[in-house]
A and B are shown apart, each in its own frame.
Chain A
């Protein structure tokens, strides 16, 4: 499985959003935001773009491949 580092929690906190509020903005469940933040679930490109747009940042700022790859 492809591992993915993410800084979603950090960007969400900076935007002053709860998991539920961010979930509502991108039309997913709060649990999905939680599992993405914890690296359990790797989001699709569409969801990654929606998250980046909701947090007014780029996908690259939210998600990166581990440096070893």
Chain B
């Protein structure tokens, strides 16, 4: 088992699931908690994932080389393309919502973080499960 690839998978899964769970399940249950707290928590999860990958790469350099081979690099590039189109789609939906005054521009700006985080990470989770990353 490639430790670096596994750490990357867990980090991406935690970010994807964590973002979704916190934004759509946990946040509505605790409306008294400030937005800053949630932001720190959300980006803390992503930062922990990055740090865990860095630590694994330093401890297992051979695994890091295999985990970032050309197929994984291609999947990683594809994840950003996927993320771009996710963001574009959500932007258009939010733009329509803001123009229709169904959503404030400030809220739309904050909610854009969801496709930004979920697009690439969910693609990499899929790539790992399909054997296309690490």
> Which residues from chain A sit less than 8 Å from chain B, CB to CB?
23-24, 27-29, 31-32, 34-35, 40-41, 43-44, 46-47
Contacts and interface: CB of A to CB of B under 8 A. Distances in A.
B11 interface: no
A51 B2 CA distance: 20
Interface residues of B, number: 14
B71 A35 contact: yes
Interface of B: 2, 5, 65-67, 69-72, 74, 131-134
B103 to A, nearest CB: 40
Contacts of A27: 65-66, 69
Given A29-B67, A41-B71, 10 more contacts: A27-B65, A27-B69, A28-B66, A29-B5, A31-B131, A31-B133, A32-B72, A35-B131, A41-B132, A44-B70
